[in-house]
Amino acid sequence: MNLDLVKYSVFLTVVVLLMNPSPSFPPVQKEVDFNELSETFLKKIKAGQDTGEIREALENTSLEDLEKGLSTDAEKLAFWINIYNGYIQVILTENPKRYEDRRSFFAADQIPIAGRKISFAKIEHGIIRKSQWEYGLGYIRKWFPDKFERKLRVEERDFRIHFALNCGARDCPPVAIYEPARLDAQLDKSTARYLERTTEYQPETKTARVTSLFNWFRGDFSCKKGVKEILVDYGLIPTSKGVDLTYKNYDWTLDLDNFIDI
């Protein structure tokens, strides 16, 4: 082969490499740990730090990535409880007057997730409670839940979520940071702690005064019989037989920044 031709070929190769120092590949998308993101969200809120970057990441993710990243009920519950509790703190700290009309507040689409805005009601009743009708007392499912809800909701309802969700009221459970690996133990602790604080048993009349949550979501607890069995399981009444239940008034006074370690 002609030596000059070889030299010219090498020269052209070097020029091309210098003009294109690295091959062009599409950027590698790093898989997001949504549970870790939700935990960091609450940690930053608790510490009084800015959460803008996390909120932006949540808004810009896709429904498909969210569905893929939350594949078990433990992952779903831990994530959505943290998101619900976190956004209650963020939104009501910025504008506490919105809490004066609670029905409108909880129904408003205001939480930016996966390219859309959703409501607190969507998270609680649609995703965490598996498409329950908000006013159905835990007995009536929604007829036509949307795709977002169907893709992200839990497979099985867990009554203990009622003692983990914090809606901003004084009588709500305190805010803990929930993790999938520890979720079962954490929910047990939060339930035991909340019921111990809110339950009053009067042995002389065999009457238990309990939180209104048991009344509002009675189907989630398998009715009064189920409530009594729960109270027995947590050592708050001696027997489920012959015990009457009365429901306490709920204190809706706004009470933010109520955190606890569980």
**Which residue type occupies 210?**
V
pTM value? 0.88
Given phi > 0 = left and psi -120 to 50 = alpha, else beta, which region is 137? left
How far is residue 202 CA from its own chain's centroid? 35
Q: Any alpha helices (H) in 25-134, and if so which ranges?
A: 34-47, 52-60, 63-69, 73-94, 102-107, 120-121
Residue stretches of the chain with pLDDT short of 70:
1-30
- Which one, of 233, 77, 92, 228, lies nearest residue 164 by Cα? 77
Establish how many alpha carbons lie within 13 A of residue 201's alpha carbon, considering only the half-sphere containing its beta carbon: 16
- Which one, of 186, 63, 182, lies nearest residue 127 by Cα? 63
- Quote the tokens at residue 251: 């204190």
pLDDT, residue 22, reads 45
For the beta carbon of residue 18, count every other beta carbon within 10 angstroms. 8
The three-point CA angle 34-39-45 to 5° equals: 125
The three-point CA angle 224-131-223 to 5° equals: 5
For the beta carbon of residue 159, count every other beta carbon within 10 angstroms. 20
pLDDT, residue 31, reads 80
pLDDT, residue 27, reads 42
- Quote the tokens at residue 171: 């009588």
Instruction: Please tell me the distance from the alpha carbon of residue 185 to that of residue 165, in angstroms, as a whole number.
Output: 16
pLDDT, residue 125, reads 98
pLDDT, residue 6, reads 43
Instruction: Please tell me the distance from the alpha carbon of residue 83 to that of residue 106, in angstroms, as a whole number.
Output: 14
